[in-house]
Chain A
């Protein structure tokens, strides 16, 4: 079905989408809503899935470790650098959901470093410290944000990374990723 512009003026038009999605959903009655809460149902579904989270986190840490090992063995290229960034970025995005918020913070710091420091200036030692920290924290199931050792590690890595980025990256390119 063609969509007729509802308003048009010199150079732009406003178009109604042809498919009205409200026709595909229904607001539940009070009685139905009392029996089924979509958000609570989804939270319960996620809880059921959580038995697998530790092994998933271990897989993600192993992927990051493998990406870094490839770089150490063959030098950094655009391709393997992107693989390392993607592995860190995946952990940054998932770690909290998987119950490892501090690991997510370390991965976020690594993303910040890779994204804002030119490849040729990327400090191998600092990258390795991030990778090792992720692996160690996952191996030790350091899940609680109050874990003093993990917290200290995150704070120190973040501090050193921010300092390095501030000294190395162009001023306009230092925002958090």
Chain B
């Protein structure tokens, strides 16, 4: 896959990561991409404060932080007032199990970056957040980036918005979403 060379110098990125070494690695990668405005939060609570004060264009969120973890932070951001609720979130996690990735996506993350982090892998996800910005979907049980990145005519997974309608759009409701079938959804939010 050809990677577009982007001038990312105007992008504002907030890194929420409790581990100082990982924070340094992420900052170094972002700096290497040419991003100049990088803000760092040591925990989820500080990240929330900085989202309000620093107005980031993108969040990198460690999924496992003490007290307020990545899932909690993502849910709070998605419930926050506009425009912060739309900020793209890249979850950075050492959990590699597919069901964990799907759970992160269902919290409202935009991309998932499984560790070990690579320069190419993180750049691809940032580029995807910026160039292929997805619409957001609001249902009774979800607010976040449209999880249907690809519209596959041969999709056989769970119909997560409820009963399929003729116009291609469907309804949703917490009771209608059978999470146990989520793993069959091939239209997940990861890029390979």
Contacts and interface: CB of A to CB of B under 8 A. Distances in A.
Interface stretch (B39-47, B137-145, B184-192): B137-145
B135 interface: yes
A141 B173 CA distance: 53
Contacts of B131: 22, 25
B135 A14 contact: yes
Contacts of A125: none
Interface string A55-74: 01001100000000000000
Interface bracket on A:
35 or more
A75 interface: no
Most A CB within 10 A of own CB, among B29, B30, B88, B139: B29
Contacts of A82: 66
Interface residues of B, number: 61
A49 B86 contact: no
A41 interface: yes
Interface in A21-40: 21-22, 24-28, 32-33, 36-40
Interface in A1-47: 1-3, 5-7, 9-22, 24-28, 32-33, 36-46
B6 A43 contact: no
A6 B123 CA distance: 29
Given A21-B130, A25-B11, A92-B94, A15 B25 contact: no
B110 to A, nearest CB: 10
Contacts of A96: 115-116
Nearest to B165: A9
Contact of B6 (A11, A38, A40, A48): A38
Given A14-B137, A46-B25, 14 more contacts: A15-B86, A17-B133, A18-B86, A21-B57, A22-B133, A28-B7, A38-B34, A39-B120, A41-B34, A42-B122, A45-B28, A94-B22, A94-B116, A177-B100
Interface of B: 3-8, 10-11, 19, 21-22, 24-25, 28-34, 57-58, 64, 66, 82-83, 86, 88, 93-97, 99-100, 115-117, 119-120, 122-123, 129-131, 133, 135-140, 146, 161-162, 165, 167, 169, 171-173
19 contacts: A11-B139, A11-B173, A12-B137, A12-B161, A12-B169, A16-B136, A24-B11, A26-B6, A32-B7, A33-B5, A38-B123, A39-B3, A42-B33, A42-B119, A45-B29, A46-B28, A49-B24, A93-B22, A176-B96
